[in-house]
Amino acid sequence: MADKKKRRRQNPDDDDDGTQPFKHLLKSDEDILKTLKSFPSSSAAASSSSSSSKPLTLADLSLSTTCREVADLSLSSVQSAIETLVLQLTHQILSGQGFSFSVPSRASSNQLYVPELDRIVLKDKSTLRPFAHISSVRKSTITAKILSLVHQLCLKSIHVTKRDLFYTDVKLFQDQTQSDAVLDDVSCMLGCTRSSLNVIAAEKGVVVGRLIFSDNGDMIDCTKMGMGGKAIPPNIDRVGDMQSDALFVLLVEKDAAYIRLAEDRFYNRFPCIIVTAKGQPDVATRLFLRKMKMELKLPVLALVDSDPYGLKILSVYGCGSKNMSYDSANLTTPDIKWLGIRPSDLDKYKIPEQCRLPMTEQDIKTGKDLLEEDFVKKNPGWVEELNLMVKTKQKAEIQALSSFGFQYLSEVYLPLKLQQQDWL
């Protein structure tokens, strides 16, 4: 391993600079590691000092608007919540009034960004979903059906996937997005997290690197999971006993960059844990990232595309998505640093013109909308970067670095970034 690394590091030295610019700036790995080691402790100290010991919760803040949050509920309490609801429905039906659900609204007008918590929360507006109305008859029927299905899961205490749920009545649900959306409504309505409903999504995220954890009792060593890494378990309650000697968590937007880093065993050169959700993050990956951050107290560095969507994905990890804001307390990971690719890197690393893409109208609009978002505004560095992106109207993917060689990312770009502690 060491031999291999040496060879790899020597070869480019011969035909230096020409192919991999800025390489000469790199110090030795030991120096970089030294600077890195000083970082986590300082950041941990900073964070612990700022928020005493316990993280803030909604209850600690006296907000003018009431907000809705959900909690992990035990199976039996989910069951009794459903039963209470069903009994109410039965009373309504028997009295000849039809029935209706009061569903918390997840529309964007009902969302609130709380800067103290640095995440989006749901306000308390609800909409009525009556059966006897042409516009809501379908949805209220689906809601009743999902309630009954979840009730069955509670009785049998088993987990099923969202896909399973959909296939119980394809004719009624028509397509999976409908049953998925109602599932979120139901967990919101019952006041529990989606995982408490015993419904899980298919595995999407993967993790590799210096992490050991138990999955349903089996110990997993993520350095020994081959190149692809370990799939992140869909239900977080199976995961425990996290141990790591990593210095940071590297969050990667795309599969391609993840594979590059995993194959180059980047985590052996700089001890770290590499995570990706292959695009928009699913619930499991977000829960997993939060758990790592909370238990291992490691800084999280994000490597995303230099476009509005990269930043949007970053924001979903950081302060939650609007769709799942009712559970943002469990799903968000505070204090994620934006490592790259940042708009300023395009010129800094002299990324050639042919690798940059012009932003479309839609991109620019998304970028400008993001500038209005509170979670961007709170970080002046981000605002500056985003302004630069909108001004230059250029975007670039992580893969743009491949123009200097496929391994430029793992051999020059990331080490240099780490050495300079260049994150926002």
Partner 1 sequence: MDSESPAETKKGKSKAPKKAKESILKQKSPAEFFAENKNIAGFDNPGKCLYTTVRELVENALDSAESISELPVVEITIEEIGRSKFNSMMGLVDRERVDAELYDDYETAKARERRLAKEAKVQETQAKNAALGKKVKEPASAKGIKGRGEASFYRVTCKDNGRGMAHDDIPNMFGRVLSGTKYGLKQTRGKFGLGAKMALIWSKMSTGLPIEILSSMRGQNYKSFCRLDIDIHRNIPHIHLHEKRDNQDPWHGAEIQVVIEGNWTTYRSKILHYMRQMAVITPYAQFLFKFISDASDKSVTIRFARRTDVLPPVPVETKHHPSSVDLLLIKRLIAETSKQNLLQFLQHEFVNIRKSLAERLIGEMGPEFSPKMAVKSLTDQQIVRIHQLFRQAKFDDPSGDCLSPAGEYNLRLGIIKELHPDMVATYSGSAQVFEGHPFIVEAGVSVGGKDVKQGLNIFRFANRIPLLFEQGGDVVTRTALKRINWGSYKINQTQDKIGVFVSIVSTKIPFKGTGKEYIGDDITEIATAVKSAIQQCCIQLKSKIVKKMQAREQQERKRNLSKYIPDATNAVYDVLKEMAKSHSSKRKRFEDEDTDILRKVSAQLITKETLKEKLAQHVEKVDYEMALEYATQSGVSEEPREDIYLQLLDANANFLDFHSPIFVFRLFQ
398 touches partner 1 (CB under 8 A): no
Amino acid symbol at 206: V
Using CA atoms, how far residue 127 sits from 68, 90, 105, 107, 189, in Å, is 14, 20, 6, 10, 11
Rounded-to-10 torsion of CA 275, 280, 283, 284? -30
401 touches partner 1 (CB under 8 A): no
Q: What beta strand segments (E) does 74-162 contain?
A: 100-104, 111-114, 119-123, 126-130, 160-161
Contact with partner 1 (CB under 8 A) among 82, 117, 274, 389: 82
Residues that bind partner 1 (rule: CB under 8 A) add up to a total of 31
74 touches partner 1 (CB under 8 A): no
Q: Which span sits near partner 1 by CB under 8 A: 87-95, 218-226, 317-325, 362-370?
A: 87-95
Rounded CA-CA distance 251/273 in Å is: 8
357 touches partner 1 (CB under 8 A): no
Site for partner 1 in 129-148 (CB under 8 A): 131-134, 137-138, 140-141, 144-145, 147-148
Contact with partner 1 (CB under 8 A) among 155, 170, 219, 294: 155
Q: Which residues pair with 344 in a beta bridge?
A: none
Contact letters for partner 1, residues 92-111 (x by CB under 8 A)? -xx-xxxx------------
Site for partner 1 in 156-195 (CB under 8 A): 169, 172
Q: How far is the CB of 130 from partner 1 (least distance, A)?
A: 9
Burial of residue 117 (CB within 10 Å: 0-12, 13-18, 19+) is buried
Contact call for residues 120 and 60 (beta carbons, < 8 A): no
59 touches partner 1 (CB under 8 A): no
Contact with partner 1 (CB under 8 A) among 42, 51, 90, 174: 90
167 in active site: yes
Q: What share of the chain is helix, strand, coil (3-state, %, to 5)?
A: 50, 15, 30
Residues 6+ apart with CB under 8 A from 407: 8, 260, 264
Q: How far is the CB of 159 from partner 1 (least distance, A)?
A: 19
Residues 6+ apart with CB under 8 A from 95: none
Q: How far is the CB of 318 from partner 1 (least distance, A)?
A: 36
Q: Which span sits near partner 1 by CB under 8 A: 49-57, 58-66, 77-85, 221-229?
A: 77-85
397 is in an annotated binding site: no
Q: Which is nearer to partner 1, 2 or 94 (CB)?
A: 94
Which has the closest alpha carbon to 144: 186, 198, 104? 186
Q: How far is the CB of 131 from partner 1 (least distance, A)?
A: 6
Contact with partner 1 (CB under 8 A) among 9, 91, 350, 368: 91
Catalytic residue among 167, 267, 349, 413: 167
Q: Identify the residue whose tokens are 């430029």.
A: 408
Q: What beta strand segments (E) does 147-293 contain?
A: 160-161, 199-200, 206-209, 212-215, 218-221, 230-231, 239-243, 248-252, 272-276
Q: Which is nearer to partner 1, 149 or 331 (CB)?
A: 149
Q: Which residues pair with 161 in a beta bridge?
A: 200
Q: How far is the CB of 150 from partner 1 (least distance, A)?
A: 10
73 touches partner 1 (CB under 8 A): no
263 touches partner 1 (CB under 8 A): no
State the sign of the Cα–Cα–Cα–Cα dihedral 55, 382, 380, 351.
positive
Contact call for residues 205 and 231 (beta carbons, < 8 A): yes
Using CA atoms, how far residue 222 sits from 196, 212, 279, in Å, is 27, 6, 21
361 is in an annotated binding site: no
Kindly list the residues in this chain that would bind partner 1 in the complex (CB under 8 A). 80, 82-83, 86-87, 89-91, 93-94, 96-99, 131-134, 137-138, 140-141, 144-145, 147-148, 151-152, 155, 169, 172
Which are the catalytic amino acids? 167
Query: Which residue ranges make up the annotated binding site for Mg(2+)?
Result: 253, 305
Query: Which residue ranges make up the annotated binding site?
Result: 253, 305
